[in-house]
Amino acid sequence: MSTRIVRSACRMCHGTCQVLVHLDGDRVVKISGDRDSPVSRGHVCPKGLASPELLYHPDRVTRPLRRVGKRGEDRWEAISWDQALTEMAARLSGIRAEHGAEAFALTQGTGRPYTDLTARFANAFGTPNYTGVAHNCFVPRAMASAFTTGTVMPPGPDYRGEGGVRPRCLVLWGTNLPGIGGAHGVCGGTVARAAAEAEVLVVIDPRRTRSAARATHWLQLRPGTDGALALAWIHLIIAESLWDREFVEHQVHGFAELRAHVAGFSPEWAAGITGLPAEAIRAAARAYATTRPAAIQWGSALDMSACSFQTARSIMILRALTGNLDRPGGDVVAVPPEGLRFKSQFLNPEMTGKLLLPLGQAGRALDSLPDPAPPLRRWLAARAFGLLDAIKRRAYRRVVARAAGRPVASQLRLFQNLRRARYPLCAVTHPPTFWKALASGLPYQVRALWVMGANPLLTAASPLVVETGLRRLDYLVVSDFFLTPTARLADLVLPAATWLEQEDVVNYMKLWCVLARPRLAQVGEVRDDREVMIDLARRLGHADAFPWPSWRAFLDETLAGTGLDFGAFCQKGILRGEMRYEKWRSGGFGTPTGKVEFHSQTLAAMGVSPLPVYREPPSSARSRPDLAADYPLTLTTGARLRGYFHSEGRQLPSLRRLHPEPEAEFHPELAGPLGIAAGAWIRIETPSGSVRMKARLTDAIAPDVVSAPHGWWFPEAPGQGWMRSNVNLLFGEQPCDPDVGSEPLRSTLCRVRLDQAQARPEAT
Ligand SMILES: Nc1nc2c(c(=O)[nH]1)N[C@H]1C(S)=C(S)[C@@H](COP(=O)(O)OP(=O)(O)OC[C@H]3O[C@@H](n4cnc5c(=O)[nH]c(N)nc54)[C@H](O)[C@@H]3O)O[C@H]1N2
Ligand SMILES: Nc1nc2c(c(=O)[nH]1)N[C@H]1C(S)=C(S)[C@@H](COP(=O)(O)OP(=O)(O)OC[C@H]3O[C@@H](n4cnc5c(=O)[nH]c(N)nc54)[C@H](O)[C@@H]3O)O[C@H]1N2
Ligand code: SF4
Ligand SMILES: [Mo]
């Protein structure tokens, strides 16, 4: 057999690296780093290396499976794709005809290739019940960017330094990118290099990560208190006159209001909340404000709190206040390659097909607030919506073009008003509310759900509510690689293509380039999720919204403006944009005032604080001293493991060897008095539940904090053991961030004890 090496773009995490795929004949035998890649410069992580193990795993679902036993019994028959999609189209049309389009819902996992079309599918079908994990992942930060500087894709560190300088000060705030591989379009290898190069490295993390150990300033704050820290930084920068006067004078709206607002948020105030010494807060803030250029790499620890949006707002403000926005070596917005039509929702909101959703449907989402209008007004509104929809359909392209010209903050306000959104900045159906509605049948019963590449029994908070909800459905379809605990409850399982089996123009969250991903393998009958959505949408009569006969046709359209077809694009491997800095000098900012909005009138009109505030985690010693008596420790969950992507990878041997068991980290000082030795099985308990993990003793964490991984199940166990070590069982119904609806998964009260049964249970 001949061997060859083909360059591609890995997708075992959010997809940040170009890699080399080694083939022996038709068989993928190895993945290696690509030293020539300007994106990843040879970086590759254990997940990327394990790709062939995923591709050829004997447990993969390789044909559509229809349930034959009772729900959850794990008895299936293989059927053809045509049978599967004919049946699915019939079931979904039937439900739409009988119960309305809103009785069908679609949920997805984190950003993956399918994200290109999922929202569009839901909107074209006519359901407002499109949901996922957005509230806890990236969207709080994207919203902060949209409302502060006018771009949904937030600015980020100028790692490439095309202006001749890279960040001299780098802040890693709630992220461990150098340790985990990659996230949200950023390669961990790139961040590691920038951190090593920076003269000042600030790390804000309750755990002493490797980066924290080598940082100039490590702020080991109490989990969930980043919002207070950020406000204190703003306070200090203003109090000590360290802000960029010229930038603020010409490019900022609301500085005076902000100045008055933060007067009370001194480092001493924040010290009392964060547990950090006031002097340490001062020193780090001064270092950040006085070392230019400076940039902040932020991470998802900021998203999973009851104060996520406001904290991200404060950080957006810091970037502008210090004059680092879009300046060489600062926090920049990249320029995309010329001629390309972006398909990522974050870069091209038109892809979501939001305007395809009939106007009257928006307010029927499971999380919409009740309509306060009297019945006659509601009837009239429905008629008016009908008329407007007819006009909209006719003039679709013009309506889209006009809408796209308006500031994104104004678009969001209009849409969220129409939705009567309970959480004004949660642009999807609020996930916890969604799962509760599925389980309770209130305000109405959802009949069918498509779970597109997600494992909510492991990754959503309140897994028992999720389970009840899934069991109540008439029809559950799950697209996945494996029969996960979630997929086992399905009526139909659709086998998905891995990245090696896809072809793609990869632009997930990387504005500055797109990468080529040629199809290099095919196992069984697996199909690309997007091809399946196009196929199904057309069967359902939505060829207008999905005019492409195939996925390849879609890709060719994406590339049309570049003069390349997909084959030629693959030869090139990457297309890059040409960086320009200080773009605000010509165009201002895409906000309603055209400036960076420290104060936002749009937010005020949506019932959100127009200036950033701090909120205490709802379950903490400060907010719930009554609980703290029994649950004295602070639990943070989900710090990423290098070898796993969320609940994935437990069945891949090379990854399981890296992390064979779920391990919770805590301090020896805490373990000693509890009689817990390293490696002992323990129980972590909250008022909502109890899970089993192994003790990993380390002084890298404060003595009153526990850090536990999420996503643990045991594919090898008879019942898959999804209740054994599933950290999300520790979260019951909890107050969410009132703005964007995120959940405080990074800070909740808990306690720990030795588990009496020290053996590993084999079945659950
Ligand atoms: N306690 C706690 N919970 C958390 C977090 C935390 O930090 N703490 N983090 C949250 C965050 S930020 C996120 S984003 C979510 C992630 O939540 P999920 O996205 O649900 O996480 P995964 O475990 O990756 O589940 C995805 C499933 O999709 C399958 N899959 C992977 N790729 C594809 C594909 O291309 N197509 C299809 N059809 N299937 C695919 C996988 O096999 C897997 O079973 O978890 C959240 N949950
Ligand atoms: N290997 C791997 N890579 C991944 C993923 C994965 O599951 N595995 N998931 C992907 C996804 S969907 C996401 S969202 C990203 C997330 O990746 P990152 O943005 O890097 O975030 P995390 O690793 O979740 O958490 C980063 C750090 O936050 C710290 N932390 C915990 N609580 C707090 C807190 O309250 N405040 C602060 N400041 N820090 C805190 C943790 O100790 C951890 O070191 O990673 C993506 N990449
Ligand atoms: S960091 Fe992500 S993209 Fe890079 S090799 Fe690892 S899994 Fe693949
Ligand atoms: Mo995420």
| Ordered alpha helix ranges (H), 128-225 | 139-148, 177-180, 188-197, 210-213
Contact 525, 62 (CB under 8 A): yes
Strands 748-754 and 252-253: unpaired
Categorize the per-residue pLDDT at 761 as very low, low, confident or very high, splitting at 50, 70 and 90. Answer: low
Residue 734 has pLDDT above 80, yes or no: yes
Read off the pLDDT of residues 29-43 as tens digits, 9 standing for 90 and up.
Answer: 999 999 999 999 999
Cα–ligand 4 centroid distance for 744 (angstroms): 14
By mean pLDDT, which of 151-165, 185-199, 336-350, 740-754 is the weakest? 336-350
Contact 296, 331 (CB under 8 A): yes
Read off the pLDDT of residues 664-712 as tens digits, 9 standing for 90 and up.
Answer: 999 999 999 999 999 999 999 999 999 999 999 999 999 999 999 999 9
Tell me which residue has its CA closest to atom 44 in ligand 2: 176
List, as ranges, residues with CB under 5 A of the ion ligand 4. Answer: 110, 137
Residue 392 has pLDDT above 90, yes or no: no
For the residues 18-35, what does the mean pLDDT come to? 98
Written as six digits, the tokens of 427 are 């642009």
Residue 359 has pLDDT above 70, yes or no: yes
Sign of torsion over alpha carbons 389, 392, 394, 397: negative
CA-to-CA separations, 203 to 91, 199, 209, 215, 627, in angstroms, rounded: 51, 13, 9, 6, 30
Contact 590, 149 (CB under 8 A): yes
Categorize the per-residue pLDDT at 644 as very low, low, confident or very high, splitting at 50, 70 and 90. Answer: very high
Comparing CA positions, the residue from 168, 182, 140 lying closest to residue 37 is 182
Helix, strand or coil for residue 108?
A: strand
Q: Specify the pLDDT at position 16.
A: 85
Q: How many CB atoms lie within 10 A of CB 279?
A: 11
Categorize the per-residue pLDDT at 393 as very low, low, confident or very high, splitting at 50, 70 and 90. Answer: confident
Looking at all shown ligands, the one closest to residue 40's CA atom is: 3
Read off the pLDDT of residues 576-610 as tens digits, 9 standing for 90 and up.
Answer: 999 999 999 998 999 999 999 999 999 999 999 99
Rounded to the nearest 5°, which phi and psi values hold at 145?
-65, -45
Q: Give 329-393 as a DSSP string.
A: TSEE---PPTT----STTT-GGGG-GGGS-HHHHTTSTTBPPP-S-HHHHHHHHHHHHHHHHHHH
- Say what the alpha-carbon torsion angle 304, 306, 309, 312 is, to the nearest 10 degrees: -60
Tell me which residue has its CA closest to atom 3 in ligand 2: 180
Written as six digits, the tokens of 748 are 């909740």
Cα–ligand 4 centroid distance for 638 (angstroms): 10
Contact 498, 761 (CB under 8 A): no
Q: What distance, in Å, lies between the first and last C-alpha atoms of the chain?
A: 45
Rounded to the nearest 5°, which phi and psi values hold at 325?
-75, 125
Q: Specify the pLDDT at position 763.
A: 45
Helix, strand or coil for residue 190?
A: helix
Tell me which residue has its CA closest to atom 22 in ligand 2: 639
Assess whether the C-beta atom of 178 lies below 6 angstroms from ligand 3.
no
Strands 217-219 and 200-204: parallel
For the residues 207-219, what does the mean pLDDT come to? 98
Tell me which residue has its CA closest to atom 26 in ligand 2: 175
Cα–ligand 2 centroid distance for 73 (angstroms): 35
Q: How many CB atoms lie within 10 A of CB 29?
A: 13
Ligand 1 pocket, mutate which of 133, 138, 519 (most atoms under 8 A from CB): 133
Measuring from each residue's beta carbon to the nearest atom of ligand 1, which residues come in under 6 Å?
109-110, 112-114, 133, 136-137, 300, 304, 452-456, 458-459, 479-482, 484, 496, 529, 637-638, 645-648, 710-711, 727-728, 745
Sign of torsion over alpha carbons 349, 350, 352, 357: positive
Mean pLDDT of the chain: 96
Q: Specify the pLDDT at position 524.
A: 98
Comparing CA positions, the residue from 425, 427, 451 lying closest to residue 438 is 451
Q: Specify the pLDDT at position 334.
A: 94
Shortest-distance atom of ligand 3 to CA 180: 1
Report the alpha-carbon distance of residue 25 to residue 262 in Å, rounded.
64
Comparing CA positions, the residue from 248, 110, 253 lying closest to residue 601 is 253
Shortest-distance atom of ligand 1 to CA 502: 35
Cα–ligand 2 centroid distance for 183 (angstroms): 9
Q: Specify the pLDDT at position 762.
A: 59
Cα–ligand 4 centroid distance for 137 (angstroms): 4
Shortest-distance atom of ligand 3 to CA 45: 6
For the residues 737-756, what does the mean pLDDT come to? 97
Burial of 614 (0-12, 13-18, 19+ CB in 10 A): buried
Burial of 6 (0-12, 13-18, 19+ CB in 10 A): middle
Q: Maximum CA pair distance of the chain?
A: 74
Residue 444 has pLDDT above 50, yes or no: yes
For the residues 209-230, what does the mean pLDDT come to? 98
Written as six digits, the tokens of 23 are 């083939």
Comparing CA positions, the residue from 224, 213, 248 lying closest to residue 234 is 248
Shortest-distance atom of ligand 3 to CA 187: 1
Strands 492-495 and 504-506: unpaired
Q: Give 648-716 as a DSSP string.
A: --TT-HHHHHHS-S-EEEE-HHHHHHHT--TT-EEEEEETTEEEEEEEEE-TTB-TTEEEE------TT
Q: Specify the pLDDT at position 1.
A: 61
Residue 764 has pLDDT above 60, yes or no: no
Assess whether the C-beta atom of 185 lies below 6 angstroms from ligand 2.
no
Categorize the per-residue pLDDT at 507 as very low, low, confident or very high, splitting at 50, 70 and 90. Answer: confident
| Ordered alpha helix ranges (H), 354-505 | 359-362, 375-394, 396-404, 408-419, 431-440, 456-459, 463-472
Report the alpha-carbon distance of residue 165 to residue 152 in Å, rounded.
25
Assess whether the C-beta atom of 61 lies below 6 angstroms from ligand 3.
no
Read off the pLDDT of residues 287-299 as tens digits, 9 standing for 90 and up.
Answer: 999 999 999 999 9
Ligand 1 pocket, mutate which of 114, 519, 647, 731 (most atoms under 8 A from CB): 647
Cα–ligand 2 centroid distance for 53 (angstroms): 25
Assess whether the C-beta atom of 640 lies below 6 angstroms from ligand 2.
yes
Q: What is the pTM of this model?
A: 0.98
Q: Specify the pLDDT at position 756.
A: 86
Read off the pLDDT of residues 95-145 as tens digits, 9 standing for 90 and up.
Answer: 999 999 999 999 999 999 999 999 999 999 999 999 999 999 999 999 999
